[in-house]
Structure 1
Amino acid sequence: MDKMFSTAMKMLENQMRNLNEEVARNPNHPMNPRNKRHRQNLPNDLNIQFFVNGKKVFNNPNNQHLNNQNNQQQTQAQVNQIRIDPKVFTDKLKKSSKLPKKEPQSKLKRISNKIVYELHVPGVKSVEDILINQLENSIEIKALSNKHLYSKSLNLNLPILRYKLKNDFLTIELQG
């Protein structure tokens, strides 16, 4: 099933790329942004982007500088929000598999359009000792200290905005 879906997505990506090339070659194509008839049908503030397998398709040559700015902003956001490689954490987890598992104390707060989850994880020294997995219908959190392996599963299917570790508290902000 997964293989069929992957193949279908690759085919869709190729078709979108071919359509993008056709639009770029034909200035009278209704999807060409230089076509004035096309622009009259859409509101000025409408911005449509297509992504297939995480790759942007339909690159607009007029908005190339905007795409570069967006890419720079995304890379800066990734630098600000540290994501740990699960393989590195898994290696640490194997080395410390003899530690007792413990569920951390938690607090749930709702602030306007965010849900803030605070977990008390004493002994966890850095964000590199934390693994947050976004699963299909839940979020799995594992934090590694010298004495315990903290493990918590949140039955929420919300996107994670950011997380930080400060004073033995892991704070996770979810879009709510």
Structure 2
Amino acid sequence: MVCYSALVAINDDMPFDSVINQINQHADNSGFIAALDEDLYEPRPNQVNLIKAILLRLDMEQQDESVIKTYTGRITIEHILPQALVNEYWINRFQPQEHVYWLHKIGNLTLISGSKNSEAQHYDFIKKKSIYEKLNSKSSFDLTKDVCNSSEWGLAELKMRHEKMKTQLKKLWLV
């Protein structure tokens, strides 16, 4: 509704202030903020593309203004805490209900190249990190570099990253 209202105002040659008023009138900041704590990842093509776009936007936000990044190749969404709780590392750090709750939240998602995604699977965090870094050739995604700066991936780290990403998204998109 926000985009449509803004486009109508622009097409009607309304002054800038009127366009901004249309945006403010139809903005749903409370709905947006609530959605940031929902499960964002769903394995449907449209939903995956939306989450990928959100993560790419967060990744771009971490760039210096002088850096222009081009994203090429197959980019996939990686669950840091894996989708299956089968590895002892993860079982020792997450209760089953915590796993279900945090699995598809923004704080547990990052970007990697398609080839690395199939390699990372359900490994422990140390092994996943080495795959993300791929023998010292660092990840091209700053979102993933931040994850690689952690020595541990437990509930505290996941919550902290989740809150950081929510704050960044609010700065980007709140009206």
TM over 0.5: no
Which structure: larger Rg? 1
Q: Write 1 or 2 for the structure with the bigger share of helix.
A: 2
Structure with higher RCO (Cα < 8 A, 6+ apart): 2
